[in-house]
Amino acid sequence: MTEIAPPADGLHGVGKSFVAALAAQDFPRLRETIAADVRFRLLVPRGPQENSGADETLARFVGWFGGVDELRLESSYVNTVADRLVMTYRLRLRDASGWRLIEQHLVASLASDGRIGTLDLLCTGFHPCDAEPITVRSVPVAASNPAALAAATPAAIA
């Protein structure tokens, strides 16, 4: 495999590249964001697990998302906390089981080569859902304001 340099714009660039590659199911490009000796810890509905190395780590993402018929990125968030990369994404996918929704939260550190060297993931699991998201109008409510709370009842939101 030809080595491609990681994005030059540091943590944000690596995070944006990771999410974009995953959403596009571009696993070779996703692999380029991950260091060869990455430590991958994950908390999934079956319990805590761990993988070592880029091949094992990539295999997890391919296993989850590689065989789906359709994959939609509904939302994503990439930011930093000091020298840590924080990524969150929500995916709606269609496979043999129908439509399912999943959200994953990741915290990562970069290795000396600028790729992800440690990756910790929290996963909601795959949950059945409709093909299209349900649109819900959000109403800000101040807990100390009874009038605002009364205005945000289900009848007011509908």
pLDDT of res. 147: 57
What is the b/e burial string over 41-68, where b = at least 16 CB atoms within 10 angstroms of the residue's CB?
Answer: ebeeeeeeeebeebeebbebbeebbeeb
What is the CATH number for 75?
Answer: 3.10.450.50
> What does the pLDDT look like over 66-88, one tens digit per residue?
999 999 999 999 999 999 999 99
Residue 55 within any structural domain of the chain: yes
Q: Residue 132 — pLDDT band, cuts 50, 70, 90?
A: confident
Residue 3 within any structural domain of the chain: no
Residue 36 within any structural domain of the chain: yes
Residue 32 within any structural domain of the chain: yes
> What does the pLDDT look like over 83-113, one tens digit per residue?
999 999 999 999 998 999 999 999 999 999 9
Residue pair 5/13 in contact (Cβ under 8 Å)? The answer is no
Residue 5 within any structural domain of the chain: no
Structure tokens at 100: 């399912």
Residue 95 within any structural domain of the chain: yes
Q: Supply the mean pLDDT for the chain.
A: 86
Residue 103 within any structural domain of the chain: yes
Q: Residue 148 — pLDDT band, cuts 50, 70, 90?
A: low
Residue 108 within any structural domain of the chain: yes
Domain extent at residue 108: 10-157
pLDDT at 6 over 50: no
Number of compact structural domains in the chain: 1
Query: Does pTM surpass 0.85?
Result: no
CA 60/CA 13 separation, integer angstroms: 22
Higher pLDDT among residues 3 and 40, named by residue: 40
